[in-house]
């Protein structure tokens, strides 16, 4: 008896396995689409939308469908806003990482330990807020609304933010231990962001 016979699920392995496969496929597609860097927010937002739709049973995404959806998004009037968001995110993240490297690599800076902790906390907060923002349906229509909702959710749901930071840390550790996994890591991060959004009612 297949999973379809037992409970209306597609395929012989069940909906959970198919969701896992979709997550990996979307992760690879999102990684490829994020290679220009400034396309990353739109790429991850599109990936979250695809996975959210799959988890709700509305459609089964595929890599071709993902790229068509992303191409339509970037080619529409939303495209410049998406690319601007990617540029701002890249510059802000690069600035924080560069500051952290400078503080860690320079001897004799007063309060270097405190500054390092503050910069790491800022990076963690930025990662949590950005992951929440791209997982919101609002990110498909406007980044300012998505960011406002994301910041509010981060304050109201600190546990969710901790879970997202932990997901980023685990993904970074996996890539550090086995760099070939980098092409897959956006999939689990997209799943984590989508799951954290779904775990509590919208405020």
Residue 48 structural domain: 3-198
Residues with Cβ within 8 Å of residue 143, at least 6 apart in sequence = 41, 81, 82, 85, 133
91 closest CA partner among 38, 32, 30, 164: 38
Contact 39, 82 (CB under 8 A): yes
What is the pLDDT, as a whole number, of residue 198? 84
Q: Report how far apart the first and last C-alpha atoms of the chain are (Å, whole number).
A: 42
Structural domain includes residue 69? yes
Alpha-carbon distance 15 to 38, whole Å?
Answer: 33
User: Can you give the pLDDT at residue 38?
Assistant: 92
pLDDT at 202: 52
Residue 10 lies in a domain: yes
User: Residue 102 domain-assigned?
Assistant: yes
Nearest Cα residue to 135 out of 203, 83, 190, 188 = 190
Tens place of pLDDT for every residue, the chain, 203 residues? 333 344 444 555 556 677 788 888 999 999 999 999 999 999 999 999 888 887 776 664 444 588 998 999 999 988 899 999 999 989 988 888 888 888 877 777 777 788 888 888 888 888 889 999 999 988 888 899 999 999 999 889 999 999 999 999 999 999 999 999 999 899 999 999 999 988 765 54
Q: Give the Cβ contact number of residue 86 at 10 Å.
A: 21
Q: Which residues contact 120 (CB under 8 A, 6 or more apart)?
A: 100
Sequential DSSP letters for 79-99: HHHHHHHHHHHHHHHHHHHHH
CA nearest 128: which of 172, 91, 164?
164
154 in a structural domain: yes
Three-class SS state of 185: coil
Q: Is the residue at 24 inside a domain?
A: yes
State residue 152's pLDDT score: 92
pLDDT at 113: 80
**Looking at the domain assignment, is residue 203 inside a domain?**
no
Whole-structure pTM value: 0.82
**How many structural domains are present in the chain?**
1
Q: What pLDDT does residue 103 have? A: 81
């Amino acid at each position: 008896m297949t999973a379809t016979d037992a409970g209306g699920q597609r395929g012989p392995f069940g909906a959970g396995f198919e969701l896992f496969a979709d997550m990996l496929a979307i992760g690879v597609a999102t990684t490829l689409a994020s290679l220009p860097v400034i396309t990353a927010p739109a790429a991850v937002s599109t990936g979250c939308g695809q996975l959210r739709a799959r988890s709700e049973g509305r459609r089964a995404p595929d890599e071709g469908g993902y790229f068509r959806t992303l191409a339509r998004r970037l080619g529409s009037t939303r495209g410049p806003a998406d690319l601007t968001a990617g540029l701002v995110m890249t510059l802000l993240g690069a600035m924080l990482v560069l500051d952290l490297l400078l503080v860690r690599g320079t001897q004799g800076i007063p309060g270097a330990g405190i500054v390092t902790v503050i910069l790491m906390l800022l990076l963690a907060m930025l990662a949590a807020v950005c992951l929440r923002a791209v997982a919101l349906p609002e990110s498909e229509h406007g980044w300012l609304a998505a960011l406002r909702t994301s910041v509010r959710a981060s304050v109201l749901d600190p546990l969710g933010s901790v879970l997202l930071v932990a997901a980023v840390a685990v993904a970074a550790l996996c890539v550090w231990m086995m760099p070939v996994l980098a092409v897959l890591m956006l999939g689990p991060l997209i799943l984590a962001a989508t799951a954290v959004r779904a775990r509590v009612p919208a405020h």
